[in-house]
Every structure is written in structure tokens, then in C-alpha cells.
Chain A
Amino acid sequence: MKRPLLLVEDDPEIRGLLVDLLSDEGYPVTAAANGREALDALAAAPEPPALALIDRMMPVMDGLQLRAQMQGQSRFAAIPTVLLSASADLAGQAAAAGFVEFMRKPIDLSSLLALVARYCGA
């Protein structure tokens, strides 16, 4: 049984594509376009996702702000989060903010699938 994941990405192109391909792989995916929407989705979810893929640069609430918000709420603090960004050298910042991993765009499909399999089952 594959476990659910949350995708937070403002770019509709990337969001749509990731939803498509992760769904094809059999993962239940919830998508949000910014941090605020993600918090709403988390609050509404019957069970917390096994993994959250979070873009850094987003309007309304960016990825780092979202992680900080999650950190402050016991229900969400333990959810493993992965930071996605096209910027270089964010690994340190991501680790400091509590992300389990940093994935630089353009994302590599097999790395992504391996990562998702690790947290949400193969």
C-alpha cells in the first residue's frame, strides 16, 4: 500500500506534471500552490502525508515559511519534508530549516521516484 504525499509548488506546469507522474506510480497526491494552501490541505487531511515535497519560491507563503509553520504544530512537525529549488547551494539552509533533503531543479525522475519510494513505499 503506497502512502500519501503532499506536493507544494506554485508553478502549474511542474505541479501538474508531478501530480500526473506520481499518481501514475500509484501514490495518492495532494497538491497545493503555496504554503498557505498547504497548511489548509494538511489541516483537512484525515491522516498526515508520509512526505511533503515543497518548492522554496512561492507567493503568499514560501517553502521556508511553510516548514517553520509546520515545525510549530505537533501534528505536522514530524512529517518529512523535501525542499525543491532551482537555486544552487541550498542544502545547508534546507537542513538547518528541518528539511530531510534538498532536491535541485531540474529534478531527476529516477532520484525523485527513489526518494518518494523511500518514504511512501515502493
Chain B
Amino acid sequence: MSRETLKKSIPSGPRRRRTDDVPGVQDEEKFRLLVGSVRDYAIFLLDRDGVVESWNEGAERLKGYSAAEIVGKHFSTFYTPEDLARDHPADELRIARAEGRYEEEGWRIRKDGTRFWANVIITALRGDGGEVIGFAKVTRDLTERRQADETLRLALENMERSVDERTGELSAVNQKLREAVRVRDEFLSIASHELRTPLTPLKLQIQLLAHQVRSRALFSLPEERIVRMADTCERSIARLSALVDNLLDVSRLETGRLRLDPARADLAAILRELIDRYGDEIRVSGSAVRVEAPPELWGTFDALRIEQVFTNLLSNALKYGQGGAIDISLATVGDRAVLRVRDRGIGIDAKDHARVFDRFERVDAEGSIGGLGLGLYISRQIVQAHGGSIRVENAPDRGSVFAVALPLGSGA
């Protein structure tokens, strides 16, 4: 393409008086200077077939070729092998020829083989007769913008992902909180029920007492009857105290304030005293309690807390044992003391074996048998604080076996 055609092809824009007045500098030259000195855009001419005809500073900076290296070469030099394989450079020229202009963003290749993300505009240049005589190509390097976009996109994706994750976590936490609230509500209702039950005889007894005092009937009652009234009150108060103690124990366990007071203690004696103390309950339950234990079994334990565990296991066996025989055995196995309590009652589904040691859980969720659902939870915490373990398994025929293993400790 001659300089003459170039001048015709590219619109020159409004004339500006001042440069026009500079003597010796012609329009064409000024235009050449303008294009040549643009650094941020590669601006160059292609002939009808796509061969590079001119080169500017921006083109050299973007693509790495000097004018001497590239003028006369086909512009497909700048395309990736993938684009070459699909004959993309020729397509671009075809579209520019047909529509006057072609624009795209895509990967191009520098002289050193590195890729850059380019915005490319190819404009068809037409001669006086309207025939395409070549192409003007303007290329911008958008690699940084693309990287910034990509970074932004990744950041957004990451953010979305982490929002999703957090949402998931929050809904899981929410679910847990709901469950905790449900369990707590249920517990409060059970606790209220359990506290009200021993209040019944207490309240009736006191009202009856007042009634009998008013009607002057009290002292005509047999002495044994008055003693029984006092005993009823006392037992109700003991039951209430035990319930309140359990609630306090749970609160201590929750806040890590359960302190053991270990000392030399004889587990066999603890068990014997417990069975004696439970004589009445055992008789009422109808269960025969058989105990197999050595005369003495010494170790280092918090005797009161261990007694609490034994008491809980015995009272559960009586409560759930349905009057069947209860076998209790105490023995030394290696460096541990092992207590086993076996009942022949309703038993526990294997799937519930882990759950029964949880807080507020009762084997009988339907509620025909009362209780706070704290005994086994407290027991496990006490046993674990001693470095021991507690578990439940199904008895061979029917009922459950609770087994507690306690390290004998330094005092063994």
C-alpha cells in the first residue's frame, strides 16, 4: 500500500491550526508520528492477505518484534497454535472484509513465546472503488485487566463458597441449638414433674396435719401414725434433696467444677452398705438381689462419688428390672475393680446403648417410668473422672448388664 492510499484510508479528523502552521511538517508525517509514538496500543497495517506492512512503538512493546523483524511476515505469527489450527486469522480477515470491522478478545503470542490477553480490532481499509486494499489492526494488552478480572472472579467464587460453607455451618449450629433448646425444654418439664411428685405427699401431709390440729384430732391419733406422718415428710424431703443434688451435679459437670476427693476406700464395703440401705426398696421391687463380692476390695477412690454410681446402677436395676432377679458382682480384674449389675427387665435397644449415658436421656422416653434422666450421665462423668469406664450391654436372655471398671489407683 502506498502512502497515498494510506492517507486516504484513515480519516484524518478535524484539522488543528497550530501544527498545520509548523513549516515543513506535512499531515502525512504528523500522522505517521502520531501512530508511531503511541505506546499503549499496537497499531499496524496489514495488506489484503494479512501480511504486516507497518509497525509502531506500541506494537514493538506489546509483541516484542522490531519493525525489521516483522514487516513482511504474515500476521498469523501472533496467534496461538489452537487459533491457527482452526484457521482463525483468516476468519478474522473474512469477517472484517464482509462487515468492515472485527473485534475480539483472545490470547496472542509474543515474540518470546509468552501469551498475552489481547483486545483486537481489525478494520478493513477500502480504496476509492470500495475494494478492500488492506486492514488496520489495533491491539491492546489486557492481560493485567484479565488477571485482575480473574482474581476478582476467583475471589468472588471463594467468597461465595465460604459464604455457602458458613451458611452450612450456621444452619448446622442452628440445628444443634434448636435441639439443645428442645432437650432443655423437655428436661425442664421432666424436672418440674419429678420435683412435684415428692411435693405431693409433703403438701398433703402438712395440710392434713393442719386440718387435724384444727379439728383437735391430732393427739387422738395413735403415736405410730404420727411418726409415720413425720417419716413421710422426711422421705419426701430426702427425695427432693436428692433431685436437687442431681441437678447441682449436672451444673457442676457442665462447668467442669466436679472435684474428686480420692482416698483409700473399700469398694466391697461400699457395696455391702448400699445393699443394706436399699433393703426396703429391694423388698418393694420384688427383685431378688444376689451379690458376689470379695470381703474387701481396696483402692483409691472418691468413696462418696463411687457410692453415687453404685446407687444409681442399683436403683436403675430395681426401677427397670420388672421384679426379675438382679445379679451384682464385684471383682478385681488386673489393675481394675469391675462392678457388674445385671437385671432381667425391659432391656435397652442396642442402638440406644451409647445414648443412655447422655444427659437428660431416659430409656423409657414414653414416660411411664419417672426420672430425671441424669443418673447414668452423672455416673459416667464420675467414672471417667476416676480414669475408668462404664458401658452397657444386653444380657444373654433379657435385661441389661451395666459394667463399671475403675483403676485401683496408687493406693491399690
Contact = CB atoms under 8 A, between A and B. Distances in A.
A62 B370 CA distance: 12
B368 A57 contact: yes
A20 B200 CA distance: 14
A57 B369 CA distance: 7
Nearest to B319: A59
Given A13-B236, A62-B368, A86 B203 contact: no
Given A17-B232, A21-B204, A106 B196 contact: yes
Contacts of B239: 13
Interface in A38-61: 57-60
A14 B200 contact: yes
A99 B257 CA distance: 47
B208 interface: yes
Given A106-B196, A109-B211, A18 B204 contact: yes
Contact of B192 (A13, A14, A16, A88): A88
A106 B203 contact: yes
A59 B369 contact: yes
Interface in B189-220: 189, 192-194, 196-205, 207-208, 211
Interface in A1-31: 11-14, 16-18, 20-21
Question: Which among B199, B200, B201, B205 has the highest number of chain A CB atoms within 10 Å?
Answer: B200
Given A21-B208, A107-B204, A108-B203, A13 B196 contact: no
A86 B204 contact: no
Contact of B196 (A60, A62, A86, A110): A86
B193 A86 contact: yes
Chain B at the A interface: SS class: helix
A115 B322 CA distance: 34
Contact of A105 (B197, B225, B322): B197
A93 interface: no
Interface string A92-122: 0000000000001111111010000000000
A87 B193 contact: yes
Interface string A68-104: 0000000000000000011110000000000000001
A107 B208 contact: no
Given A13-B235, A87-B193, A105-B199, A57 B367 contact: yes
Nearest to A65: B368
A108 B207 contact: yes
A49 to B, nearest CB: 20
A88 B185 CA distance: 13
Nearest to A85: B193
B258 to A, nearest CB: 29
Nearest to B190: A87
Interface in B314-347: 322
Given A11-B197, A57-B370, A106-B196, 15 more contacts: A12-B284, A13-B198, A14-B204, A17-B205, A20-B225, A20-B228, A57-B193, A57-B367, A86-B196, A86-B200, A88-B192, A106-B199, A107-B204, A108-B207, A109-B208
28 contacts: A11-B197, A11-B200, A12-B284, A14-B204, A17-B201, A17-B232, A20-B225, A21-B204, A57-B193, A57-B367, A57-B368, A59-B322, A59-B368, A85-B193, A86-B197, A87-B193, A88-B192, A104-B196, A105-B200, A106-B196, A106-B202, A106-B204, A107-B203, A107-B204, A109-B204, A109-B208, A109-B211, A112-B204
Interface of A: 11-14, 16-18, 20-21, 57-60, 62, 85-88, 104-110, 112
